[in-house]
Amino acid sequence: MPLPERLVEHAMRYRDGDATPVEPRDAATVVLMRPGDGEPDLYLLRRQTSMAFAGGMCVFPGGGVDPRDDDPEVAWAGPSPAEWASRLAVDEDQARALVCAAVRETFEESGVLLAGPSPDSVVGDTTGDDWEADRVALESRELHFSDFLVRRGLVLRTDLLGAWSGWLTPEFEPRRYRTWFFVASLPEGQVTRHVGTEASSVRWVAGSEAVRRVEAQEIGMMPPTWLTCLDISRYADPDEVLAASRGRTVEMFTPALQADGEEWTLSTHPDYVDLLAEHLRRVGRSGP
């Protein structure tokens, strides 16, 4: 999509070296899925319009990494930190922090917890008052995630996560995030609920329907979220998505300003060029 002239002028200052990009912060986001009608349903939150970053946009649960997420004392099931480091193209400490942040943020923003009392089990209902008190304490950073898991005798189920993609906010944005996208299926027995302070509403929706609503300007999305919805809509169910994730290694991508005739756009992630071109042809628009 063509960029507004104001944004292009702003981006040009950074491209020409007249402004210095801010240092990005590491973040993790989780595409939470459940079976739908021929494709997975995805859990989306609409951020409060007052939020400084992506205000009013529909997003997946996620957020910035807390330094305390890197705790080697966390009980760990599934791929080791070394294996996650290879998948995420980071060192072991950063991989541990990213995986913990992904699980923590999912619990904070949806009430879904990818952990269990043993390496092959998952907690059930997390809607009780005691769970909610812990969720609020985690969200406010009064409670460390590792302390929460230890006190409840829980094991982090990293095998329930899959690595999907990586996006770095363009250099001209005032707030920048280096975000790793994960995928996960809603555990049996758990339910999502509207929690947290950053979302004005939540919804389960098929990826293809989310794409349609964005194109109809019924909802707003950042390009990485929109492309992820489009990508996952090609799969029949969450199990297919998780199977596809097992062979993925994340390469961080930064959208850059590029000329498109007389207009300016942002470059497309190389993994999504063919997918996007096919979609645009299907809806009767020119390709990227």
3-state DSSP of 12-53:
HHHHCCCCCCCCCEEEEEEEEEECCCCCCEEEEEEECCCCCC
Q: Does the model's pTM come out above 0.75?
A: yes
pLDDT of residue 170: 86
Burial (Cβ within 10 Å: 0-12, 13-18, ≥19) of residue 215:
middle
Domains along the chain?
5-282 (3.90.79.10)
pLDDT of residue 21: 82
Residue-wise over 48-69: b if at least 16 C-beta within 10 A, else e?
Answer: eeeeeebeebbbbbbbebbebb
Provide the pairing of β-strand 25-34 with 177-185.
parallel
Dihedral-angle region of residue 54 (phi above 0 means left; psi in -120 to 50 means alpha; beta otherwise): left
pLDDT of residue 3: 65
pLDDT of residue 59: 92
- Name the residue among 233, 109, 125, 247 with its Cα closest to residue 187: 125
- Rounded Cα distance between 249 and 199, Å, is 30
Averaged pLDDT of the chain: 89
pLDDT in tens, 201-259: 789 999 999 999 999 989 888 889 999 999 999 999 999 999 999 989 999 998 877 77
- Rounded Cα distance between 109 and 70, Å, is 20
- Name the residue among 238, 225, 227 with its Cα closest to residue 60: 225
Question: Kind and range of the H or E element at 88?
Answer: helix 81-88
pLDDT of residue 52: 45
pLDDT band at 24 (very low <50, low <70, confident <90, very high): very high
pLDDT of residue 288: 43
**By three-state DSSP, how is residue 155 classified?**
strand
- Rounded Cα distance between 228 and 232, Å, is 6
pLDDT of residue 194: 79
Asked whether the beta carbons of 270 and 276 are under 8 A apart, the reply is no
pLDDT of residue 287: 45
Asked whether the beta carbons of 238 and 32 are under 8 A apart, the reply is no
- Rounded Cα distance between 249 and 94, Å, is 15
Dihedral-angle region of residue 136 (phi above 0 means left; psi in -120 to 50 means alpha; beta otherwise): alpha
pLDDT in tens, 51-78: 445 557 899 999 999 999 999 989 999 9
- Rounded Cα distance between 33 and 259, Å, is 36
Q: Which of the two residues, 237 and 198, has the higher pLDDT score?
A: 237
